[in-house]
A and B are shown apart, each in its own frame.
Chain A
Amino acid sequence: MKAYLSAFRMRRKMEMQYRGAVLGGIVCQVFFGLVLIAIYRALYAGKPQPMPLGRISSYVWLQQAFFRMLLASDPDLLDKIRTGSIAYDLCRPLNLYGFYYARILAQKMMGSLLRAVPMLAFAFLLPEGWGLQLPASAAGLAWSLAGLGLGLLCVSALENITMGFTMRTLDSRGMQGMLNMLMMILSGNILPLTLFPDSWQRVITLLPYAQLLDAPIRLYTGDTAPADAPGILLIQLCWVLALTGCGILFWRKNQRRIEIQGG
């Protein structure tokens, strides 16, 4: 366990290094947030919806703030797979899946926290209808934090499954691109899931991608009442277990048929 923890800590420190890149990322993400909210405001002016505009803008800001949680992969591992130096990792007295799970978890957690804190502070300062609202209730905030934690575990497990595909094909850019796009759409980053047709939402919110950010955000904004929160968290937990289990099996199978090339 100690070894995995230190892998986690190392990666966390590494993610703290590039502060300039973080600043650039924040400016870019804030810009995207403002553009999206401007579009939704103009659409709302034409045809108001039952869901208040303030909730949509909160949704957009939370999605943008935690963007890094969705799209961050471990370039080291990709390189290792391509160059064959993954052989060194196979020599470690560790479970490979656990080792990389700890790394990707640290990267996603630290990367998104570094960006989220200043962005959310900025979004709180914006006027009503543009910015981030306070959470619907204290209970909602507590539940959404728990949900965010589970979402983080879920997205790390998903990332490791994508990595598993890379081990199989070497050049996985096509596969990765498709999986990433699926994630961006179905997690609500491109268009809030709350604006999808209502009949679609019933299915989409059950998929793993909705567990990453959509579920905790709905708990935050009050779209999901705190009373329903345990059920939501249970769905998240099921997905975390299922995805981690699939990932472990997938990696074990990959490891058995791995072929190192080059040297």
Chain B
Amino acid sequence: MNTIRLYLHSMRMLIRSQLQYPASFVMQTLAQLVMQGGEMMAVILLVNRFERLNQWSAGDLYFFFGLMSVTFYLTEIFGRGITGNFPFLIRTGQLDTFLVRPRGVLTQVLCSAADPRRITCVAVGIAALVLGCRMSAVQWSAAKVLLMAEAILCGCFLILGLFIIEGIFCIYSVKSVELVNALTYGGRSACEYPVDTFPGPLRILFTAVAPFALVLHQPGSVILGKPLFHWPEWTAFVSPLSGFAVFGITWLCFRRAMRFYRSSGS
């Protein structure tokens, strides 16, 4: 409990410190809006030309796009320490100072950075979700709201877990991080579309290795009333938990890898 309080406290401080330079903050936040808006425009243009993707209508596609955007960028806001700063901490040797403090390394990394500029990306995602729900005429119920919250929460942990893999690579070699970007940023770009778009190998990758399909697409498809692979609806409540599993496994690996950490800093 204490750890969570510390984390929330540092988030508050980090976000307040970023707001100290309002002009720069506003400019960068707007830049994020343009960037994510551009991604959204690409989906709109595709839908405009092709109308549908397999069984998914335009509204469904916006919904999946929004679900991914909200999840991914919430993670970037609150998990910036892992999603962005970790290689920097290792390269500069700042990580060493974390080793002498009486808290877990991962906790301190998480507490070390926040990125509130991404808030506009989340806003674009929410707009896409609302648009998608309207166009696909989603019938909301308490269970579906709960399911959506569960999917987003588990999705955040899944993405954190994938970025921790990148961190583990960093511990062994400072460069060559781009390779793992295929899983994180590649996963984001690919899984803005439901997983049945992809041929076998990619489908397995996004179900078994980086389970975006289980965490986001399965609940999403149930909310839209078109369960993926015709699995029964209750599975949608269980499958997102795989996000926690990925986080747990990578967290354990991270702790092991930290034993081999050798400072490169000065």
B31 x A35 contact (CB < 8 A): no
**For A181, what are the chain B residues with a Cβ–Cβ distance below 8 Å?**
31, 34-35, 38
| Residue in contact with A28 in the complex, picked from B31, B41, B173, B178, CB distance below 8 Å | B178
Q: Which of A38-46, A134-142, A146-154 lies at the interface?
A: A38-46
A50: shortest Cβ distance to chain B, in Å? 11
Residues of A within 8 A of B (CB): 18, 20-21, 23-25, 27-28, 31-32, 34-35, 38-39, 42-47, 49, 171, 173-178, 181-182, 184-185, 190-191, 195-197
Q: Number of B interface residues, CB 8 Å? A: 37
Q: Considering the complex, give the chain B residue whose CB is closest to the CB of A180.
A: B35
Q: Which of B85-93, B154-162, B193-201, B240-248 lies at the interface?
A: B193-201
Give per-residue flags for B83-127: 1 if the beta carbon is below 8 A from chain A beta carbons, else 0.
Answer: 000000000000000000000000000000000000000000000
A34 x B202 contact (CB < 8 A): yes
**For B52, what are the chain A residues with a Cβ–Cβ distance below 8 Å?**
46-47
B226: shortest Cβ distance to chain A, in Å? 15
B120: shortest Cβ distance to chain A, in Å? 11
**For B54, what are the chain A residues with a Cβ–Cβ distance below 8 Å?**
42, 45-46
- Interface residue? B9 (CB, 8 A): no
CA distance A185 to B35 in the complex (A): 9
Residues of B within 8 A of A (CB): 24, 27-28, 30-32, 34-35, 38-39, 41-42, 45-46, 48-54, 173, 175-179, 181-182, 186, 189-190, 193, 197-199, 202
Q: A27-B179, A43-B50 are in contact. Are A178 and B34 (CB under 8 A)?
A: yes
Q: A173-B31, A181-B31 are in contact. Are A20 and B53 (CB under 8 A)?
A: no
**For A24, what are the chain B residues with a Cβ–Cβ distance below 8 Å?**
175-179, 181
Q: Considering the complex, give the chain A residue whose CB is closest to the CB of B179.
A: A24
A39 x B42 contact (CB < 8 A): no
Q: A34-B202, A174-B28, A197-B45 are in contact. Are A18 and B175 (CB under 8 A)?
A: yes
Q: Considering the complex, give the chain B residue whose CB is closest to the CB of A171.
A: B24
Q: A20-B176, A39-B193 are in contact. Are A28 and B182 (CB under 8 A)?
A: yes
CA distance A191 to B42 in the complex (A): 6
CA distance A38 to B203 in the complex (A): 11
**For B45, what are the chain A residues with a Cβ–Cβ distance below 8 Å?**
191, 195-197
B22: shortest Cβ distance to chain A, in Å? 12
CA distance A195 to B50 in the complex (A): 10
A96: shortest Cβ distance to chain B, in Å? 26
Q: Considering the complex, give the chain B residue whose CB is closest to the CB of A130.
A: B199
A49 x B27 contact (CB < 8 A): no
